Chain A
Amino acid sequence: MTGLFSEVFLSALLFGAVTAAIPLLLAGLGEQISEKAGVLNIGIEGMMLAGAYLGFVGAFYSGSLWLGFLTGAAGGAAVALVMALLCVRIGLNQIVIGIALTLGLEGLTALLHHFQFSRSYPRLPAADATVIPLLSDIPVIGPAFFKHHLIVYLAVALVFGMGYIYRRTQLGLNLQAAGDKPAALDVAGIDVVRTRTIAVLTTGALAGLGGAYLANVGAGLFIPFITNGAGFLGIVLAMLARGRPIWVLFGALLFGVCLSLTTAMQVAGINIPTDIIQMLPFLAVMIMLVLFGRRASLPAALGIPYERGAR
């Protein structure tokens, strides 16, 4: 082991795991809000792609990663706005619109990329890291977890922020009521449509941010279909987490670690066909599902548009 798995290599693997986990985390946290409020947001893959594309465009032309994150989040939110208008406001089927948006953004971003970047394939410089003093000096762990771009810490902080909102604020109550019994929320004087719209827009912004991180930091560039199903994994994580943000974090990290593990196993020269090794992350999640998926209680009104006074 010692020869192959140097400290540097191990921390690079873990670093990679974190980098791979962050887009999933953001997407999962985003999806969680929508689901809590009763909207099954299948369009999240499209929102991530929009975020990835616009995030990259923003960062590339402005030279500022932060601006890129901002445009990425805005891009995701813009797609979410369509979803909110169609699915929340006029109550169209969430699956139809979600999948249609995903297809559309796959095509649209690929199209834009073709006309804009397919000759130059621009790439961003390395994202600068915010080094956390002391902690980053711990061997292996330090460079793996405490030398990331500031946005990574913010994303992790968001986990606790969301936890606080869900459990300790009126907004959290509103979201839960919107998903479990929207009529009760309505008669309590809170506009269900508005609550759900806010939830969906937040989802879009977070998914867009996740996409922007994926493009700008994860890959440093944009290419068509770059998200590769990350949005769908986000849906899985959100459902698996049963409304608790911390579980989204664990799930995303588990997935990231499994990805790195596949690299580690290959580098260690374990002669299993790579195709089999690469099933590992999905197997891990599937096993989690078998073990913990029991009665994954979803909001009662999930997927059902709310119409005031309908019977």
Chain B
Amino acid sequence: MSGFSSSSVAGRDIVALEGVTKRFPGIVANDSVDLSIRPGEVHVLLGENGAGKSTLIGMLSGLQQPDEGRILVDGKPTPITSPRHALALGIGTVFQHMMLVPTLTVAENLLLGGPWWQRPRTEELAARVAEITGTLGITVKLQAKVSELSLGEQQQVEILRAMLRNSRLLILDESTSMLTPKGIDELGALMRRLVEQGLAIVFITHKLKEAAAFGDRISVLKLGRKVGEIPPERFRALGEQEIVAEIVELMFGKQKDDPEAVERPVRTARAGAAPLLQVADLAVAPTDNAPGLSSISFDIRPGEILGIAGIDGNGQKQLAEALAGQRTATSGSVRLDGAAIETLSVGERRRRGLRYLTDDRLGEGTVGTFPVSINFFLKQVGAAPFWRNGVEQRAEIDKRATQLVREYDVRTPSLKTPVARLSGGNIQKVLLARELAEGAKVVIFNKPTYGLDLANTLASRQRIRDTAARGLAVLLISTDLEELLGMCDRIAVIANGALVGTVENVDDARTKVGRLMIGLAA
């Protein structure tokens, strides 16, 4: 498995794809893609949601076989038949979706794959992990159950696992999506060190700045086709701004300045208006694998966006669930438009206008095997006009679903497609459409742009701003500080299940929030 030194000559492809095509029912996920992956390079793959990036990775890591075209390893055509084969070829992958066994400990997950008769070699592992984490600047709790870790921590474990394998090609599929800004920078530095040692890296991200900062070569996919490439020579010649501009052009075909540039929110909050959502002293008991909440208090006025910043796993999900009614609070009060709702059921809260857009799109947000159309109305089952006297009105459902698909630009082969077959961004659009439907007063967004491509991210953000502009109260939970700074009126920081401070989003908000996040007073 290991034993590849850095002797491979820079400039020659470790792995190359030639005319690779992959089809799924109703869609061509990759359409004659050529790609060359070289040692000493960070090859950035860009593309909107559903462009086919992960599918490409799937073929490189042996999960899927191309329908046409071939893969060359060290210049020789090599069908990569299984993940085991890929590992043996020195290809290590961090997948977009978590690939850890939740019921095993971190150490056991890292050891998975050893010879079956052996005892897991824990001591050996601990030593090697210490070595790697030292250079990475992260800490992992080897004895912790994976299910007890936050998504961010899990992502670190996955990166660590890929490193442990001595791969000569390391693939990172959206591995920064759950990391803190500091973590992202560290990962960037690490990638740099690794390619200097002669590794090849494929790095997938939706953040153009990361692409520009960490990459050597960029390939852009669109609708399964490779639409452009910036080779290292050009890459080095261009500045960050120019690279971003060029990528944007490749991806969207239109010129635009830094699209992610912070736009100051239009102040729509009516300072005098009574708060729409009032939370006082909310507390939730901790469970085996989740922290509790203690004395959470805040108000949100109509038209206001309150951000919740914090490192993932500090109680954000618990807060959202407690507000939505999915998790029982031990004490405290929640008032919606003045009326106490803390004892109401999930359904009743929703009927009163409280909406919750979950971050777990496939786990709880949708029923993956059900058609897209039905998933739009998952929270309205039985309501008119889609059901009359309890009987489904398929025509009404399809009519409205068609409308929503158009309005929210959901890319789906048909209304009947099982929603799980859509790409992450399109699933998110289904959820947005569902939560922003008539009657919303307060909307909780939990990591609304996680995993979304640039266009979808911008569109989602615009939806959120529009929501606030319509006079709704918005609670925006995000681990992306830029996003919060760009959107919110105020930002509260959560740590260990408690709000440690709230900051008006004015000039020096960034430093204040940053200080709060690392445990200093604002």
Contact = CB atoms under 8 A, between A and B. Distances in A.
Interface string B188-200: 0000000000000
A308 B82 CA distance: 9
Interface residues of A, number: 23
A155 interface: no
A181 B102 CA distance: 8
Contacts of A177: 101, 104, 112
B99 A171 contact: no
B103 A180 contact: yes
B365 to A, nearest CB: 16
A40 to B, nearest CB: 17
B95 A187 contact: yes
A90 interface: no
B63 A191 contact: no
B380 interface: no
Contacts of A169: 116-120
B83 A187 contact: yes
B99 A190 contact: no
Contacts of B421: 311
B23 to A, nearest CB: 13
Nearest to B94: A187
A189 B120 contact: no
A97 interface: no
Contacts of A129: none
Nearest to B422: A311
A170 B116 contact: yes
Contacts of B99: 181, 183-184, 187-188
Which of A173, A185, A191 has the most chain B CB within a 10 Å cutoff? A173
A260 to B, nearest CB: 37
A102 interface: no
A190 B95 CA distance: 16
Contact of A173 (B61, B82, B112): B112
Given A169-B118, A309-B64, A188 B104 contact: no
B101 A176 contact: yes
A311 B101 contact: no
B100 A170 contact: no
A168 interface: yes
Interface string B98-113: 1111111000110111
B48 to A, nearest CB: 18
A170 to B, nearest CB: 5
Which of A177, A183, A189 has the most chain B CB within a 10 Å cutoff? A189
Contacts of B84: 189-191
B112 A190 contact: yes
Contacts of B109: 184
A194 B484 CA distance: 48
A171 B112 CA distance: 9
Interface residues of B, number: 32
Contacts of B183: none
Interface in B385-438: 420-421
Contact of B119 (A168, A174, A176, A181): A168
B283 interface: no
Interface string A272-311: 0000000000000000000000000000100000001101
A281 to B, nearest CB: 32
Contacts of B102: 180-181, 300
Contacts of A191: 82, 84
A174 B112 contact: yes
B115 interface: yes
A114 to B, nearest CB: 43
B512 to A, nearest CB: 40
Contact of A185 (B82, B101, B111, B119): B101
B116 A189 contact: no
B488 to A, nearest CB: 35
Contacts of B119: 168-170
A169 B113 CA distance: 11
Given A168-B119, A190-B84, A309-B58, A181 B63 contact: no
A185 B112 contact: yes
B44 interface: no
Contact of A311 (B88, B93, B118, B420): B420
Interface in B26-85: 58, 61, 63-64, 82-84
Interface in B110-154: 111-120
B63 A188 contact: no
B246 to A, nearest CB: 32
Contact of B101 (A168, A180, A189): A180
Given A177-B112, A186-B83, A187-B63, A171 B117 contact: yes
B87 interface: yes
A174 B113 CA distance: 8
Contact of A189 (B83, B100, B103, B104): B83
Contacts of B111: 170, 173
A188 B113 contact: yes
B101 A181 contact: yes
B103 A176 contact: yes
Contacts of A189: 82-84, 87-88, 113
A189 B104 CA distance: 17
Contacts of A300: 102
Nearest to A297: B103
A304 B92 CA distance: 27
A186 B85 CA distance: 11
Given A176-B101, A184-B99, A309-B64, A190 B117 contact: no
Nearest to A189: B84
A170 B61 contact: no
B163 to A, nearest CB: 14
A299 to B, nearest CB: 8
A305 B89 CA distance: 28
Contacts of A186: 63, 83
A173 B104 contact: yes
Contacts of B115: 170
A309 B111 CA distance: 22
Contacts of B61: 187
Contacts of B58: 309
Interface in A159-207: 168-171, 173-174, 176-177, 180-181, 183-191
Contact of A188 (B83, B118, B120): B83
B93 A187 contact: yes
A170 B117 contact: yes
Interface of A: 168-171, 173-174, 176-177, 180-181, 183-191, 300, 308-309, 311
Closest 7 CB pairs of A and B: A188-B113, A189-B84, A188-B112, A309-B63, A171-B116, A189-B113, A309-B64
12 contacts: A169-B117, A170-B112, A170-B119, A177-B112, A184-B101, A186-B83, A187-B95, A187-B99, A188-B112, A189-B83, A189-B88, A191-B82
